[in-house]
Amino acid sequence: MAARVTIAQVAEEAGVSAMTVSNVMNGKPGASEETRRRVLEVATKLGYRPNISARNLKAGRSGLVGLIALDLTSQYGLEILRGVAHELADAEQELLVNASYHDAVREQDRIQFLTRGLVDGVLLIAPVLEDQTVKLLHRQNLPCVIIDPRRLAVPLPRLTVDNYNGMRQGTQHLIDLGHTRIAYLRGEEDLESTSLRYRGFEDAMRLAGLEVDPRLVASSDFSYASGFRTATRLITEHRPTAIVAGADLMALGAIDAARACGLDVPTALSVVGFDDLPQAAQSFPGLTTVRQPLHDMGQKAARALLALIDGQKLLMEHMELDTELVVRNSTAPPLRP
């Protein structure tokens, strides 16, 4: 195995001091553009790679970021995780991934494990986040950013999307097509995002002069099976001309429920989702949905966490990203009698 190229060898070849090489490789000021260019050329030629472990040890850091997801099976969480990994790779940080699987005790246990000096900061995706867990994070004084918290008022840096306006826009799309009998599949009731999305639906209906028929509103969870089951009941009992679902998986379940009931989508039933998971573009018909910028959510949360690790203060404790309506082939004007 070839010996590792040292900073001293780069310095000797480039005709500068080891300190200059260190400053250039770490992006610090002080060297001229000509010197910086020469050092980088020599480092590339010799195959020099900075010793990240030594750099982190000197700074009193591990070079690791912890991430605890609600689970590691949903495409929602995996898309956010991709964004996190992308940002951390650019920053030469490594990622340690755990999952709570909706278990508050396991979540707190994983956080306690990570706070034993193992990581420099932690990201939580849609955590349960009981009060005791929040107190633990404050007590450990570990840099932390919450992605899509269940409660928006959680006293920690957090990143969400504009759930309210996103769902208003998705509902307005159906209203603009001429639908008036619009059913709504709510998500998990302990999530504040569920309430915000439903309020967006209600307000879009109200502002259009349409009443929300309580018989067309059903509680569900964010799963395909729940969407299929709930939509089947609504279709057979109340025959809406359109369904808005609080998540893509529910919407995809609703599309298959319509088929099982002998209805064509979108001719006899229009369907709108929320998320824009990869499956939304791959389904048949393609799902009209409200896009959450999941990859960007991961990137921006990771960027915020790295700033906290570096001792910076965030300009905002609550970061909110815009959503976007993506119109595909699951929506159309209702059939006229």
Give the integer Cα–Cα distance in Å for 165 and 163. Answer: 6
The token duo for 46 is 């010799």
Which pLDDT belongs to residue 79? Answer: 95
Average pLDDT over residues 294-320: 93
Strands 64-69, 288-291: pairing kind: unpaired
Average pLDDT over residues 224-239: 97
Give the integer Cα–Cα distance in Å for 325 and 269. Answer: 19
Which pLDDT belongs to residue 106? Answer: 92
The token duo for 322 is 């815009």
Which pLDDT belongs to residue 57? Answer: 45
Strands 324-326, 288-291: pairing kind: antiparallel
Share the mean pLDDT of the chain: 90
Closest CA to 98 of 76, 80, 124, 121: 124
- If one compares 192 and 58, the residue with the highest pLDDT of the two is 192
Ranking 29-38, 143-152, 291-300, 322-331 by mean pLDDT, the lowest is 29-38
Which pLDDT belongs to residue 205? Answer: 98
Q: Which ranges of the chain would DSSP assign to H, the alpha helix?
A: 7-14, 18-25, 33-46, 52-58, 75-90, 104-114, 131-140, 163-177, 192-207, 224-238, 248-260, 278-282, 294-309
Average pLDDT over residues 163-168: 98
Residue % of the chain over a pLDDT of 90: 60
The answer on pLDDT for 1 being more than 50 is no
Dump pLDDT digits (tens) for 14-67.
888 877 877 777 667 777 888 888 888 888 888 776 655 455 544 556 688 999
Does the pTM of the predicted model rise above 0.75?
A: yes
The answer on pLDDT for 238 being more than 50 is yes
Closest CA to 65 of 50, 48, 83, 42: 83
- The string of DSSP letters for 136-170 reads HHHHHT--EEEES-SSTT-SS-EEEE-HHHHHHHH
- If one compares 256 and 19, the residue with the highest pLDDT of the two is 256
Closest CA to 305 of 112, 144, 99, 98: 144
- Spatial neighbors of 309 by CB under 8 A, at least 6 apart, are 61, 65, 120, 121, 143
Candidate ranges 47-61, 82-96, 101-115, 253-267; pick with highest mean pLDDT: 253-267
Contact 192, 150 (CB under 8 A): yes
Give the integer Cα–Cα distance in Å for 290 and 68. Answer: 25
Give the integer Cα–Cα distance in Å for 223 and 231. Answer: 12
Sign of the Cα pseudo-torsion (285, 290, 292, 295, in order): positive
